[in-house]
């Protein structure tokens, strides 16, 4: 394989340079012109080498164009799931308030809290996420994606210990602050990592593994909270924090994109060989090392200015504006309010169903739909999923609110219908509105600002989540009851339908370069008509990767190279 790649470089860029003619008695001016032409030719040759090198790298990293079977993607799937496994403890942290608050509000609780304090217990974890996200954005650029996830375990363990040993409301808040900070440190790097290692046709599904594992964590929290004391649950959560870090350390290679950006070419090669075992890898010679070092030096001198300019370009600010409105709709449609106040929300609708038992079913529904969502994201366009999701949410909340009002007035005995409506509402939200905004935080931004832009958009989303969760009980009192809150969720869901219809860009099946070209206002170069596809000549590296028997095609490839040089 190394021979094929070397032949590619030789053919594309004139690897064997021609000898310069020895000048004997020629005029000085003519000699200078000859030297300038030779110098220009050498520079062009060097540039061709660089282009060939990048072309092969791009081919190895965009394998969905050539191979789409699941077997070839198993290393990527394994790496993505293990990297996202820290989301389990994140899900537990988010749902923990749903089991903690009802137990603290019981008459015999050793720590008594007010309604205002309960709102802070639920929402404080969210307000810490923006701070943690900004820190994660810097840490993942300097320390790496996976090392940042590993460090997230430190404040997370400290937070669970603080909650387990808490003697008053203050120490519970300290624990929630630390776990909230850890949630941000562990989430952003995992999403960026999956975005960089996953091939385009599986990127959405693999990114959704994070929310899926978070949903599993919520099920664990609801189930343990229904039978165990909240202090014991806190001690158990330490196990769910440490195990993902050990798995990442043992089985997952660092992102090759980050490694190349740091000039660690050999480490990047090893990472690529693990992630893309069935595909050709470039031979990293001294020449390629120099290229990477040069790119590293350029980035080192201009990184701050380039990142600032990145946010001022349409590819930076347009996605940020879209995500702001997308997350605003998501948060005030009630998705996370029903998560943080699951038990309390079920109690407020007036149902006779046990609230703790119903919360377990809510968690199971969310987890089951997360598994289905991975297939939906791979199969259907994002905009269609969001429109179907918001339609279902609006219908469920309207019907549930109607029966909640009738239960309050005493005109119906069907007290189980709001619970069923809530379960169907959760199903609908998992189709699109809950997962797709988080997926797009990494998809919509260009490579040069993706890490920081993801952290900023993630922080923005959690600030909106904080205001939504913190205001739940205030909105309930202001609107006059749980039924009115549910109707408000229905109205916001309808707004989300029209937002997806008119403003949301489609990213399904598109490469990151195509998404960037869309926001830049450029025509995507990868989209061709069938006639153009037939007329287009395949590149050498593309031909190598597509060939069923690469060794047998060596002579044909060399002929292509000769024709390319002779053209």
pLDDT band, very low/low/confident/very high, at 36 (cuts 50, 70, 90): low
Taking residues 337-344, report their average pLDDT: 84
Query: Minimum mean pLDDT among 308-317, 355-364, 365-374, 398-407: which range?
Result: 308-317
Helix runs in 198-208, H state only: 200-207
pLDDT band, very low/low/confident/very high, at 306 (cuts 50, 70, 90): low
pLDDT band, very low/low/confident/very high, at 33 (cuts 50, 70, 90): low
> What's the chain's average pLDDT?
75
Q: Angle 169-174-177 (CA atoms, 0-180°, nearest 5)?
A: 125
What's the pLDDT score for residue 423? Answer: 92
Per-residue pLDDT for 281 more than 50? no
Greater model confidence, 546 or 139: 139
DSSP symbol at 64: G
What's the pLDDT score for residue 232? Answer: 93
Could you report the per-residue pLDDT of 236-275, keeping only the tens digit for each? Answer: 999 999 999 999 888 888 888 778 877 788 777 777 777 7
The candidate with the shortest Cα–Cα distance to 140, out of 130, 126, 131, 150, is 150
What's the pLDDT score for residue 531? Answer: 46
Per-residue pLDDT for 197 more than 90? no
pLDDT band, very low/low/confident/very high, at 559 (cuts 50, 70, 90): low
What's the pLDDT score for residue 300? Answer: 45
Please report how the helices 450-470 and 169-197 are oriented relative to each other, as an axis angle in degrees rounded to 10. 140
Say if residues 207 and 77 touch (Cβ distance below 8 Å).
no
Domains in the chain, CATH or no CATH each:
77-252 (1.20.1250.20), 309-507 (1.20.1250.20)
Could you report the per-residue pLDDT of 138-157, keeping only the tens digit for each? Answer: 888 888 888 888 899 999 99
Distance from C-alpha of 181 to C-alpha of 152, rounded to nearest angstrom? 8
What's the pLDDT score for residue 390? Answer: 95
Structure-block tokens of residue 7 = 């032949």
Per-residue pLDDT for 532 more than 50? no
pLDDT band, very low/low/confident/very high, at 202 (cuts 50, 70, 90): confident
Give the CA-trace dihedral at 471, 477, 479, 481, to 10 degrees. 110
Dihedral sign (CA 555, 556, 557, 562): positive
Distance from C-alpha of 403 to C-alpha of 413, rounded to nearest angstrom? 10
Say if residues 201 and 175 touch (Cβ distance below 8 Å).
no
Per-residue pLDDT for 2 more than 50? no
Per-residue pLDDT for 301 more than 50? no
The model's pTM: 0.63
Greater model confidence, 186 or 239: 239
Distance from C-alpha of 345 to C-alpha of 76, rounded to nearest angstrom? 39
Greater model confidence, 402 or 30: 402
Longest dimension (CA), the chain: 111
Say if residues 141 and 296 touch (Cβ distance below 8 Å).
no
Q: Number of H helices and number of E strands within the chain?
A: 27, 0
What's the pLDDT score for residue 443? Answer: 75
Could you report the per-residue pLDDT of 376-385, keeping only the tens digit for each? Answer: 877 888 889 9
Could you report the per-residue pLDDT of 464-510, keeping only the tens digit for each? Answer: 988 888 888 888 889 888 899 999 999 999 999 999 999 888 887 77
Could you report the per-residue pLDDT of 386-408, keeping only the tens digit for each? Answer: 999 999 999 999 999 999 999 88
Per-residue pLDDT for 70 more than 70? no
What's the pLDDT score for residue 538? Answer: 45
Say if residues 473 and 115 touch (Cβ distance below 8 Å).
yes
């Amino acid at each position: 394989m190394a021979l094929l790649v070397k032949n590619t470089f030789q053919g594309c860029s004139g690897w064997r340079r021609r000898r310069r003619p020895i000048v004997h008695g020629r005029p000085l001016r003519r000699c200078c012109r000859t030297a300038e032409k030779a110098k220009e030719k050498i520079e062009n040759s060097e540039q061709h080498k660089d282009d060939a090198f990048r072309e092969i790298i791009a081919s190895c990293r965009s394998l969905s164009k050539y191979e789409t079977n699941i077997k070839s993607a198993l290393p990527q799937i394994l790496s993505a799931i293990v990297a996202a496994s820290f989301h389990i403890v994140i899900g537990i942290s988010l749902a923990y308030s749903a089991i903690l608050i009802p137990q603290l509000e019981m008459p015999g609780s050793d720590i008594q809290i007010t309604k205002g304090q309960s709102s802070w217990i639920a929402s404080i974890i969210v307000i810490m996420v923006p701070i943690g996200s900004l820190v994660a954005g810097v840490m993942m650029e300097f320390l790496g994606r996976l090392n940042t996830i590993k460090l997230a375990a430190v404040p997370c363990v400290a937070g669970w210990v603080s909650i387990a040993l808490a003697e008053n409301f203050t120490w519970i808040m300290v624990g929630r602050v630390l776990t909230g900070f850890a949630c941000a440190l562990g989430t952003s790097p995992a999403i960026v990592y999956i975005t960089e290692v996953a091939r385009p046709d599986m990127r959405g599904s693999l990114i959704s593994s994070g929310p899926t594992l978070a949903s599993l964590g919520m099920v664990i929290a609801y189930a343990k909270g229904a039978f165990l004391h909240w202090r014991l649950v806190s001690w158990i959560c330490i196990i769910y924090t440490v195990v993902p870090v050990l798995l990442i350390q043992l089985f997952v290679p660092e992102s090759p994109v980050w490694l190349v950006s740091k000039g660690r070419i050999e480490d990047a090669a090893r990472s690529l060989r693990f992630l893309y075992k069935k595909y050709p890898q470039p031979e990293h010679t001294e020449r390629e090392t120099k290229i990477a070092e040069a790119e590293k030096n350029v980035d080192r001198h201009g990184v701050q200015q380039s990142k600032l300019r990145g946010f001022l370009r349409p590819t930076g600010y347009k996605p940020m504006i879209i995500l702001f409105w997308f997350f605003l709709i998501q948060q005030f449609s009630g998705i996370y309010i029903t998560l943080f106040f699951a038990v309390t929300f079920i109690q407020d609708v007036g149902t006779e169903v046990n609230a703790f038992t119903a919360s377990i079913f809510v968690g199971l529904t969310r987890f089951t739909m997360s598994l289905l969502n991975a297939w939906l994201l791979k199969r259907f366009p994002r905009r269609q999923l969001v429109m179907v999701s918001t339609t279902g949410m609006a219908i469920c909340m309207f019907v549930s609110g109607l029966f909640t009002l009738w239960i309050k007035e005493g005109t119906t005995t069907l007290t189980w219908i709001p619970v069923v409506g809530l379960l169907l509402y959760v199903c609908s939200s998992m189709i699109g509105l809950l997962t797709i905004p988080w997926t797009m935080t990494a998809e919509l931004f260009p490579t040069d600002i993706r890490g920081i832009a993801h952290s900023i958009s993630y922080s923005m989303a959690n600030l909106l989540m904080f205001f939504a969760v913190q205001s739940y009980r205030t909105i309930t009192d202001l609107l006059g009851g749980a039924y009115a809150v549910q109707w408000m969720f229905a109205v916001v869901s309808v707004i989300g339908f029209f937002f997806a219809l008119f403003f949301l860009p489609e990213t399904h099946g598109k490469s990151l370069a195509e998404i960037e070209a869309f926001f830049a206002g450029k025509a995507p170069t990868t989209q061709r008509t069938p006639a153009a596809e037939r007329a287009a000549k395949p590149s050498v590296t593309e031909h190598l990767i597509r060939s069923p028997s690469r060794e047998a095609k060596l002579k044909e490839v060399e002929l292509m190279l000769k024709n390319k040089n002779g053209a």
